[in-house]
Chains A and B, each alone.
Chain A
Amino acid sequence: MSDVVTMDDLSNEEILSILDDSERLVPVARGDVHLPLLQGKVLANMFYENSTRTRMSFETAMKRLGGSVLNFTSVGTSVAKGETLYDTMQMVEGYADIAVIRHPRQGAAQYSADAVDIPVLNAGDGAGNHPTQTMLDLFTIREAHGTIEGLNVVLVGDLRYGRTVHSLSHALIRFGAKLTLVSPEALSMPDEIVSDLRSAGAEVFETSDLGDAVPDADVIYMTRIQKERFPDEDEYAKVAGIYMLDANDMHGAKDGMIVMHPLPRVGELHPSLDSTPNARYFQQAFNGVPTRMALLCRGLGVTIPKEVNT
């Protein structure tokens, strides 16, 4: 019940209330206010796949709220010896109050959530979902535009294997955003997701041309074409580097348009973009901390005070 595996695990009301909670937690996330709401609680950070931002922001979120963190890696552990995910989760349940899991296999987060009673937060399952990233993305969009409704959001790059855009597209249409999906044919959004979006009555426009999509965009959400998800080198070479934005591209954009990216970037965002008012990706990475604080509190049934004093 307090698991978050896909965005379907959160109602619109809950999403908004988590975003409000996150907003109040910003000074705590920065370290300006001491608020040990999770003192004595233990988080198991289960990373079966590499991560920088997600793992670190969960860790700092837990620690800034007074909790502690067990960091798990699959290298050189019982997992390398062939332990099942089920068995590993049984062990973790004995050691921690809440678990965050990232796993290369799709469905691993739902499987873990079903294996144990402690709350499980999905931090990315293969090319599946990444709902905690979606929460920080929604936070970033709302922070910039004050709302999500009616915005024209352009999702760019690897929409097939990019799990962040899978969770994000589901959430955006629930709040009435319009979606433009920009990708090469080979990396287009999976059929299951497009079918869900359309049957939810969403306005979804698919194209392979980024230039056409810039002038009307309120948000451009760039993603990296992920080499590690490609079956072979040649297929990757065909599509690597097809979408790039630099400071000059911002001239044709609307005032207030923001550029987001789940990071790391490999070349799709030129450094010249960093100093434009449109660039939001570093702010977005910071926003992972307050939103993950709010998600940890929700998972552990801890209420965030209405006033967080500075």
Chain B
Amino acid sequence: MSEMRRVTAICNGTVIDHIPAGHALQVIRMLRIDTNRSNPVSLVMNVPSDKMGRKDVLKIEDLELNQEELDRLALISPHASVAIIRNYGVAEKRVVELADELVNVARCTFSNCITQNDREPLPQKLRVVSRDPIEIRCYYCGKGQSMEAIVENVL
């Protein structure tokens, strides 16, 4: 089955499909492809999807997502499909799976957490307490972290 491509084919890179509609910008932020990168990125929002009604799709050129980036993606979009494109073809599919612990992905937002002191050297750690519905807490202080707060405080 061929689907009409809304953006041109990319030669090398990653396609992230089945992002919940409207969440592509959060994914970009989580993956930090909005800062310190020059990869061309194409974004499709709110397109019809058989599986999910509407969805977002991201195509990032010349970047193959690594495990850490897949973990970050899993936070926003645990059901996304990831295809690695090489020479215009799908070379590999990567599984998006939310890890139990997220190290240095985002900082805890609780104002009285020990990690608020920037000079403390141990890593920021978040714990995934539940997946459906998703519930995330700071490993140190135990305070719940909303998804908006995580995106806002991404490292």
A residues at B contact (CB < 8 Å):
6, 82, 84-86, 103-108, 110-111, 114-115, 125-129, 191-192, 195
The B interface, classified by DSSP as helix, strand, loop or mixed, is loop
Q: A111 and B112: CB pair below 8 A? A: no
The answer to whether A105 touches B121 (Cβ under 8 A) is no
Assuming the contacts A84-B121, A85-B120, asked whether A108 and B114 have C-beta atoms less than 8 A apart, the reply is yes
Chain A residue contacts of B112, Cβ below 8 A:
104-106, 126-127
B22 at the interface (CB under 8 A from A): no
Set of chain A residues within 8 Å of B108, measured between Cβ atoms: 107
* Set A85, A104, A126, A191: member contacting B141, Cβ < 8 A: A126
Inter-chain contacts of A128 with B (CB < 8 A): 141-142
Near A by CB (< 8 A), chain B positions 25-81 give none
Asked if B131 is at the interface of the complex by the 8 Å CB criterion, the answer is no
| C-alpha spacing A86/B119, complex, angstroms | 9
Would you call A106 and B144 a contact (CB within 8 A)? no
**Interfacial residues of chain B within 109-148, with CB under 8 A of chain A in the complex:** 110, 112-117, 119-122, 135, 137-144
Contact residues in B for A108 (Cβ distance below 8 Å): 114, 140
Q: Which residues of A contact B139 (CB under 8 A)?
A: 107, 110
Q: How far is the CB of A284 from chain B (nearest CB, A)?
A: 25
Contact (Cβ within 8 A) B140 A110:
yes
CB of A107, distance to nearest CB on chain B (Å): 3
**A82-B115 Cα distance, complex, nearest whole Å:** 15
Q: Is the CB of B114 within 8 A of A85?
A: yes
- Enumerate chain B residues within 8 angstroms of A127, measured Cβ to Cβ: 112
Would you call A107 and B113 a contact (CB within 8 A)? Answer: yes
Q: Which 10 A-B pairs have the closest CB atoms?
A: A107-B140, A107-B141, A106-B141, A107-B114, A105-B114, A108-B114, A111-B114, A110-B140, A107-B113, A84-B119
- Inter-subunit contact A191/B144 (CB<8 Å): yes
22 A-B pairs within 8 Å (CB atoms) are namely: A84-B119, A84-B120, A86-B122, A103-B114, A104-B112, A105-B112, A105-B141, A106-B112, A106-B141, A106-B143, A107-B114, A107-B115, A107-B141, A108-B114, A110-B139, A110-B140, A110-B141, A111-B120, A111-B122, A127-B112, A191-B144, A195-B135
The answer to whether A114 touches B141, judged by C-beta atoms less than 8 angstroms apart, is no
CB proximity of A59 to chain B, nearest CB, Å: 24
